Structure 1
Amino acid sequence: MNSRKTFAAIDLEAYRYNLRYLTSKACPAKVMAVVKADGYGHGAVQLARVAQEEGVEYLAVAFLEEGLRLREAGIKIPILVLNYVEPSSFEAAFENNLTLTIVSHEQLKAIEASMKSGTAMNSAFHIVVDTGMRRLGLEWRESLNLLKASIDIGLNVEGAYTHFATADEKGSGFVAEQLKAFLSFLNQAERITKKTLLKHISNSAGIMYIDNSYFDYVRAGIASYGLQPSSQRDENLRPVLQWKTCISFVKKIYPGYGVGYGQTFVADREMTVATIPVGYADGYNRHLSNRGFVIISGRRCPVLGRVCMDQFVVDVTHLDHSPKVGDEVVLIGSQGNESISAEEMAEWNGTINYEVTCAISSRVPRLYMKGENI
């Protein structure tokens, strides 16, 4: 049931296309598909299935529960957990063949304590090296000590990675500094492991601007969803998500009439306005009050007044055709010759496209399409 005709349409063929494009861009490195945060709001399980079908060999998630959900859905390929895991949950990770990230000596002691069951001995690990993000991991020299300690207790350290802080700033000198630090680590790491490590450094922006020929994987997140990883646009990317709803009410207002909480918009003329049954509980940000636009009948219609929890009002006075209850409204996507991108909505919000799609709440049904007209 969809009583308000509101949904986020996810084009699985567009996702498939983006994976292929990014694979060609990164070659000879392979794509590790990042499906954390429920696939950046697109649906992790459904997109992980597409990635697996496409021959993607590795997935990445932020937290253990995200990896467990993929395993429960039948995803078989390796999954790297990028973030913190409480020691009491290590066993669940090992039993479900999830690859954990090694970040510190304290964590390593906790892993060693959990090795009594023997399951950790059969698990793969990656070590994260802090080259400038200052989030997780140790600086590269200390990371070598952590790597040696991990090998000494018998862990299968399969890979090593770091994360760019400024790859979205084309020409950033800090990218070169991070790359140099990581290569310094790698030059000595394989003497310790006595084997070739799986190496990865690039996020989506890094795929676009960095030579990844020395690395085994690139971590494709935002770009795999067809969203721009930086202000430098790549027109080859195909947006995967469209967000649509309908008009729920139409009425006339007159000079002096206020709209919404706080009466932050007051009409200075006779106007026709339409109510939209979406609000900030759905992820339509309150910052779009008096600032955002939607598309109705192929034309942009501005938001009037404050966005409420469940609805907001737009100006439809200028439309060529009289709008009716039930008419399609595009929040993100295209209609006729007009379009609104996640990047543009992010600009109105004063944020980034990542947050726009991640914020679309579970109250908005996801409809999965395969290239059909939405």
Structure 2
Amino acid sequence: MAVRALARVNLCAIERNVARLAREANGSAVCAVVKADGYGHGMVPSARAALRGGATWLAVATAGEARDLRAGLGDDAVRILVFGALSDAELPVALDVGADVSVWTVARAEAMAASGRAARVHVKLDSGLGRLGTRDATEADAVVEVVAGADALELAGAWTHFATADERGDHFFGEQLARFKAWAEPVRAAHPGVLLHAANSAALLRDPASHFDLVRPGVAIYGLDPFGEDPAQRDLEPALELTSYVAALKTAEAGDSAGYGRRFVAARETLIATVPIGYGDGWRRALGNTGEALLHGRRIPLVGTVSMDNVTFDVSAAGLGAKLGDDVVLIGAQGAEQITAEDVARAIDTINYEITTALTARVAREHHCDGAGTPDAGT
């Protein structure tokens, strides 16, 4: 029986992508980023696949994600790093599951030291992204010293994040790298064993000078191109396929419309297929009259407005032979044709990250290994 919206995730592709990125890292440890439910692919199954591929760390954005990841893995030994800001209520949640945490103010470092609670700390320098972290290297040094001097705290890492790593040829990436290096290398010299880390997926693939001790690939482990072009050019395998099916077929005569707002009006007799997926599933409304899907190995245009639960496609191309129940591929391959998350993103001027992370819980996830069963299936 057809499933109205199904994301099939190939965990073996994730495993191979991580192994490929580990080779690129050339000795630096790999921290697989599995935040936002593994970029829409399923956090725990993706994390397990990444570990099989050679990752030795995992990273998330929130305390709740760290808690759920630890519970799902059932392994207290795997290192989990929380990137994001943690409120006073959230910090204990992360520490309760043994997660490493990020700190960048003296006040937070001193409060943690005074609590006497054991914690592994990564000090963040804002080298130019302008979000979390301190811009002041002197303040960052002070945070390092508070952490290093506290009996219960372990100075585990020093890190930053790039603003333009995915914009090849820009100058700011090099400026950030130089700024971080000038601060971080003396920190490591003064505190041997501290891990330096800066590289996201794009930086990992762009410049070995950014690798330091640990790399943090996110989007690339799922086979998405961090440069928004073509995963195959990076030797990456897209792990996610999104499918639905033809739920209804009707002929629109010239002048008939399809969808809210009559954004599509047939100029001639047109066979319209209704496919049960919509923005309630994360299929963006902006794809109205611009998106595509695959049917019988051929591209079909999305016509009209994307609604919460349904979209409509023109399937009247000669010889297509659409029938009820036919599989429709929104992301993935069918026959010789393929639609990537990058293709979908370009159609609405966004990024591939947003396409997969937008998929809601209403989209069923099915995990497999190259089409076969896997111990992680259904988790």
1:128 aligns with 2:129: no
Distance 1:358 1:225, change over 3 A: same
- Residues of 2 paired with 1:63 and 1:289: CA distance? 33
Letter in 2 for 1:198: L
Could you tell me which residue of structure 2 aligns to residue 178 of structure 1?
176
Distance 1:5 1:310, change over 3 A: closer
Q: Where do 1:99-118 residues align within 5 Å?
A: 99-115=100-116
Q: Is the 8 A contact 1:299 1:338 kept in 2?
A: yes
Could you tell me which residue of structure 2 aligns to residue 197 of structure 1?
194
1:281 shift after superposition: 0.4
1:70 aligns with 2:94: no
- Residues of 2 paired with 1:248 and 1:133: CA distance? 46
1:192 shift after superposition: 4.3
Q: Is the 8 A contact 1:333 1:339 kept in 2?
A: yes
Corresponding residue SS for 2:162: coil
Could you tell me which residue of structure 2 aligns to residue 153 of structure 1?
150
Could you tell me which residue of structure 2 aligns to residue 263 of structure 1?
262
Q: Where do 1:1-374 residues align within 5 Å?
A: 4-73=3-72, 74-76=74-76, 77-115=78-116, 120-121=117-118, 123-139=119-135, 140-154=137-151, 155-193=153-191, 195-212=192-209, 215-231=212-228, 233=230, 234-372=233-371
Corresponding residue SS for 1:278: coil
Corresponding residue SS for 1:88: coil
Letter in 1 for 2:127: T
Identity fraction in percent: 37
Q: Which runs of 5+ in 1 are unaligned?
A: none
Deviation larger for 313-322 or 277-286: 313-322
Corresponding residue SS for 1:322: coil
Corresponding residue SS for 1:87: coil
- Deviation digits for residues 160-219 of structure 1, max 9, x if unmatched? 1101111111122111111111111123213543x2311111100001111148611110
- Residues of 2 paired with 1:367 and 1:315: CA distance? 28
1:93 shift after superposition: 2.1
1:107 shift after superposition: 2.0
Letter in 2 for 1:216: D
Q: TM-score, normalised by structure 1?
A: 0.94
Letter in 1 for 2:132: L
- Residues of 2 paired with 1:349 and 1:335: CA distance? 22
- Deviation digits for residues 293-313 of structure 1, max 9, x if unmatched? 111111111111101000011
Q: TM-score, normalised by structure 2?
A: 0.93
- Residues of 1 paired with 2:282 and 2:20: CA distance? 29
Q: Is the 8 A contact 2:31 2:214 kept in 1?
A: yes
- Deviation digits for residues 18-69 of structure 1, max 9, x if unmatched? 0000000111212110000000000010011122333421111000110100
1:125 shift after superposition: 1.1
- Residues of 2 paired with 1:232 and 1:361: CA distance? 24
Q: Is the 8 A contact 2:198 2:210 kept in 1?
A: no
Q: Which runs of 5+ in 2 are unaligned?
A: 374-379
Letter in 1 for 2:173: V
* Count of residue pairs brought into register by the alignment: 367
Letter in 2 for 1:200: H
Corresponding residue SS for 2:301: strand
Deviation larger for 247-256 or 99-108: 99-108
Letter in 2 for 1:83: G
Letter in 2 for 1:134: G
Distance 1:207 1:199, change over 3 A: same
